[in-house]
Every structure is written in C-alpha cells, then in structure tokens.
Amino acid sequence: MTRDGLGLLAANACFLAAGAGLSRPLGLWRSPHELPAVLAVAYVAGVAAVGIGATLLLLAGLALTVWQVLLLCALLAAAGFLPVSLGASLDAPLPSTRSVRRLAAAVAALLGIYLLGLLARSWYEPLFHWDAWAMWTLKARAIVLLDGLDLRVFAADAYRSLHLDYPLFVPALEAIDFRFMGRIDTRVVDAQFWFLFVGFLGAAAQLLRDRVQAVVLWPALLLLGIAPSLAIQLRWSIADFPLALFFGLAGLAGWRYLESGRAPFAALLALFGGAAWATKREGLAFVVLLYVVLLVFALVRRAPVVPLVLAGAASLVAILPWRIWVRAHDLEPAELPLGKAVNPSYLLDRTDRVGPALSGLAEQAFKPGWWLAVLPLFLVATALALRSRNGRPLGIFVLCLVGLMFASLLWAYWGDRPEIDQHVAHTARRVVTSALVVSGLFLPLLAAQLGRHEPQSRDLSKE
C-alpha cells in the first residue's frame, strides 16, 4: 500500500509540475518566488490539463503508459519557459489586521485537521459505490489492462450498460494513477479525489484572496469544506464530485474575468470549463449555461466578449473529439431526443413530474445534514447583495447562474423517462452538488461585496 501511495504521490507531483508550467504563460506567476501563492490553482490546472490531454491521447490510440504521461506532463511543464504571458491575473491579498490573520490561521488549521481525517479515510477505504466499481474505475481498469481504448470493451454491445458515451476524464485520471502505482489498487486510488479536493479549496482561497477579506474567506471555505455531502461524495469516488469542483472554479474564473477583464481568468475559465465538460455529461448543460450567462453579462457591461468566445472554443477541445468518437462508434444512448424534450405538448402531458422533481431538488439542496447552511446563507447573502449598489451585479450574476442550473436539472427530470420518484431519490443528492459548490464559492464573494468601502487612509496591515 505504501508503494501504491508513493505512486499516487508521484502522479500528483507530475500534475503539479504540468500545472505550474502551464500557469506561467496563463499569467498566474512570472518569477518562481510568486509560484507558491498560486500553487493550488496551478495544481488543479495541472489535473485539468493532464486529464483532458490523457483523454485525447486515448482517442489517438495511446495506452497512457508512464512514459507517455511523463512526456505529456513534461510538455505542459515546459510551457513555463515560453516567453509569453497573458498578463497579470491576481492582485496582492487584501490587507488585514493581525487579529484577523490569527483567526484565519486558526480556521485554516481546523480545516486542515479535518482534511487530514478525510485523507486517512480515503487512504484505507475500499471502493464501494456502485457507479465507482461498476463504471468509472472499471473503465480505468480496462484502459490499463487492455492498453488503451480497446474497442472490444469501449465500443462493444456487451459493455454498453457501462454508459460508454460518458466522458473519459475520471477513468483516464485513475488509469494514470494505476500506471504510476504499477498495479491496480482500487483502495488507494480514492485518495486521488482527496488531492483534488484539497487543491480545489486551496485554489478557491488563492483566487479569492485579493477580493475577499480573510475574516470571511476562511470561514466560508471551512463551511464548504466540511459540508457532509462533499465528504460523502469523496468516499463515492464518482464523477459528480470532480465535476462540481472544476465547474465551481470555472464559475469563479468566469466572474473574475467579467469584473476585471483580465485574460488569464478567461484562460482558467477555458481550462476548468473544459475539464468539467470532459468529466461528466451533466457538465455539458452547466458549462453551456455558464458561458451564456457570462456572454450576456459581458454584453450588458460592455466587457470584451472575444476572450469569452475563445475560451468557449478552447473548452470545446476537451469534449468535441470524444463526442465525435462516440458518434463514430454509434455509442449514443437511446435517450429522449432534444426535439421532444422542448416540445410543449410533450412536456404538458408530464407536468405531474414537476412537483416531485422540484421538491426532491429543494429537499436535497437545503438538507442541513448534507449541506449545512450553505444554500440558506447563499440566499441571504444574495438578497443582501441585490439591495446594495456594490453587490448587485454579482448578486444578479450568481442568482442567474445557480437559478439556471436548478432550472436545467428540473427540465431534465421533467422530460426524462424513468419513474420520477425513484429517479429523484437515486440522483437528486448527486446532481445538486455543482450548484451547491457554486453557491458555497460565491458566498464569501457576495459577503465581501457588502463589506467593500472606500479605501481607508490607515494601513490595516500595520495594526
């Protein structure tokens, strides 16, 4: 197990190196001493880029051997030596008093202790969620044991029930971990999701600290980090979890682009949005909605839309080749055609599904045993933001985004075929995750908008 753990660590060190290199031309850092301040963003960017790259390598017929992965990571890391940069992205952290810094350190320490507890659990816990052993990790095993996308599995009728049309980001990532372990250890591989979770929380802190005061930033990260639903889904090792993390960061990067107009945030949006697309089919609707909301806001605020369009096109690279492969191998599921799902008479005949879907989604999203008070506090913060001049644009943006995400879930349940009560009971707790993660990430940003005021003449950092 120790050897497998070291293999997993080595794989993640490669993701970090890839992300560190890639994030320099993106404008996250210029000189090496700036790198620690964006290390978590770089790590998650590395996981996103290597995961997308690994999917493309599989489609190109490669087997994701250790050497192929090392070469991919080396190429991405080498981007750090390119003499180009999209320009500066993050400003210095907001100044705070010594008392606030102490409080933030204490809250961060509590979060760290909790995360160590989760690591110990992830390290030893076997795969037990059906979707993990019967689909996501099974595909990773197949990639390793059959040296790539063997059509006898990935395009065969006998394996069709594995949802062969689902994107390959998670199987590819786990296959890389297995390669670095030198064997298939389905126990230790759980910890991959833990690394991503810690990277996500760190990335959120680094993307927010120049906009959110530490007095609210770290409590908000604690609230989101210890939400029981995320700890439970971390155990499940299924794709809804990384989808929510990538999508949450994509939303944050998107907003940062809107309010600052800085190109590096559009690049991060492209990367995280692409990773969300490449992780799970539900990501498709969410990422499309995010881009639509961003484009509308950019037009209203007269912000440049070209970087957003370019970001959307770049995100497509993460999923388009896979969709073409799925279509070419006739793996499209026999699901409800889009034409029918938007047909008013079809939907009007099924209005009895709306009530159970709505109540199921609301029940899961507000469940304190799963999400603590993330959504109620988000709604209070949004309501307060909408009443203030500073916070109104952000309030409208995030309300539109989260509202449309819930609307898309409701529409999916409404038009879908499975018996509604059972369908909602089985899936609602998972599918609300992305919307709740977005709510949790924007909560400190909304609070910070309320706390914004004219710069004071005194320097708080010297107190």
Partner 1 sequence: MIVALGGFALAVLLAWQVVVVGAALLVWRLARREAPSRAFAFLAAAILAAGLATFPLQLARAAKGARDARRIGPRAAELFGGAGRSFSVNSVERARQAIPPDATYFLDVAPRQGGSAMRFWTRGWLLPRIAVDSPEEADWIVSWREDPRRLGIPLAEVRMVGPRTWVARVQR
Residues 2-31 interacting with partner 1 (rule: CB under 8 A):
none
**366 lies in the binding site for partner 1 (CB under 8 A):** no
Residue 445 CA to residue 391 CA, distance in Å, equals: 9
Helix pair angle (98-124, 191-208), 10° resolution: 160
The distance of closest approach from Cβ of residue 332 to partner 1 in the complex, given in angstroms and rounded to an integer, is 19
**368 lies in the binding site for partner 1 (CB under 8 A):** yes
**100 lies in the binding site for partner 1 (CB under 8 A):** yes
Residue 348 CA to residue 350 CA, distance in Å, equals: 5
State which of positions 414-453 bind partner 1 (CB under 8 A): 443-444, 446-448, 450-453
The distance of closest approach from Cβ of residue 135 to partner 1 in the complex, given in angstroms and rounded to an integer, is 8
H or E, element range at 117? helix 98-124
Residue 196 CA to residue 8 CA, distance in Å, equals: 12
Query: Nearer to partner 1 by C-beta: 190 or 240?
Result: 190
Q: Can you read off the two tokens belonging to residue 191?
A: 């910890």
The distance of closest approach from Cβ of residue 158 to partner 1 in the complex, given in angstroms and rounded to an integer, is 4
Q: Segment near partner 1 (CB under 8 A), from 170-178, 216-224, 298-306, 322-330?
A: 216-224
Which of 10, 156, 284, 292 lies at the binding interface for partner 1 (CB under 8 A)?
A: 156
Query: Nearer to partner 1 by C-beta: 114 or 411?
Result: 114
> Would you list the DSSP string of 130-196?
HHIIIIIHHHHHHHHHTTS--HHHHT-GGGGGGTTTS-SHHHHHHHHHHHHHTS--TTGGGHHHHHH
Query: Nearer to partner 1 by C-beta: 211 or 235?
Result: 235
Q: Segment near partner 1 (CB under 8 A), from 7-15, 103-111, 240-248, 357-365?
A: 103-111
Q: What angle do CA 168, 169, 171 make, to 5 degrees?
A: 65
Query: Nearer to partner 1 by C-beta: 334 or 348?
Result: 334
- Cα–Cα nearest to 369, from 230, 243, 198, 239: 230
- Cα–Cα nearest to 111, from 192, 226, 197: 226
CB 227 within 8 A of CB 370: yes
- Cα–Cα nearest to 255, from 431, 396, 408, 371: 396
The distance of closest approach from Cβ of residue 16 to partner 1 in the complex, given in angstroms and rounded to an integer, is 25
Query: Nearer to partner 1 by C-beta: 156 or 292?
Result: 156
**181 lies in the binding site for partner 1 (CB under 8 A):** no
Report the 10 Å Cβ neighbour count for 327: 11
- Contacting residues for 344 by C-beta, under 8 A, at least 6 apart: none
Query: Nearer to partner 1 by C-beta: 142 or 258?
Result: 142
Query: Nearer to partner 1 by C-beta: 185 or 303?
Result: 185
Tokens 């065969």 sit on residue: 156
**145 lies in the binding site for partner 1 (CB under 8 A):** yes
Site string for partner 1, 392-411 (x = CB under 8 A): --------------------
User: How long a stretch of residues is the chain?
Assistant: 463
The distance of closest approach from Cβ of residue 351 to partner 1 in the complex, given in angstroms and rounded to an integer, is 32
**170 lies in the binding site for partner 1 (CB under 8 A):** no
- Cα–Cα nearest to 41, from 185, 165, 206, 192: 206
Query: Nearer to partner 1 by C-beta: 218 or 272?
Result: 218
CB 177 within 8 A of CB 189: yes
The distance of closest approach from Cβ of residue 155 to partner 1 in the complex, given in angstroms and rounded to an integer, is 12
Which of 88, 159, 292, 323 lies at the binding interface for partner 1 (CB under 8 A)?
A: 159
- Contacting residues for 205 by C-beta, under 8 A, at least 6 apart: 40, 217, 218, 221
Q: Segment near partner 1 (CB under 8 A), from 62-70, 93-101, 286-294, 353-361?
A: 93-101
# of chain residues touching partner 1 (CB under 8 A): 74
Query: Nearer to partner 1 by C-beta: 340 or 387?
Result: 387
State which of positions 218-257 bind partner 1 (CB under 8 A): 219-220, 222-223, 226, 228, 231, 235
Tokens 């230790």 sit on residue: 188
Q: Can you read off the two tokens belonging to residue 265?
A: 């945030």
**329 lies in the binding site for partner 1 (CB under 8 A):** no
State which of positions 104-133 bind partner 1 (CB under 8 A): 107, 110, 113-114, 117-118, 120-121, 123-130, 132-133
The CA distances from residue 151 to 6, 157, 325, in Å, are 32, 10, 11
Which of 35, 146, 354, 400 lies at the binding interface for partner 1 (CB under 8 A)?
A: 146
Query: Nearer to partner 1 by C-beta: 113 or 338?
Result: 113
Which of 59, 79, 187, 284 lies at the binding interface for partner 1 (CB under 8 A)?
A: 187
CB 76 within 8 A of CB 49: yes
> Residue 237: helix, strand or coil by DSSP?
coil
Q: Segment near partner 1 (CB under 8 A), from 24-32, 54-62, 370-378, 408-416?
A: 370-378
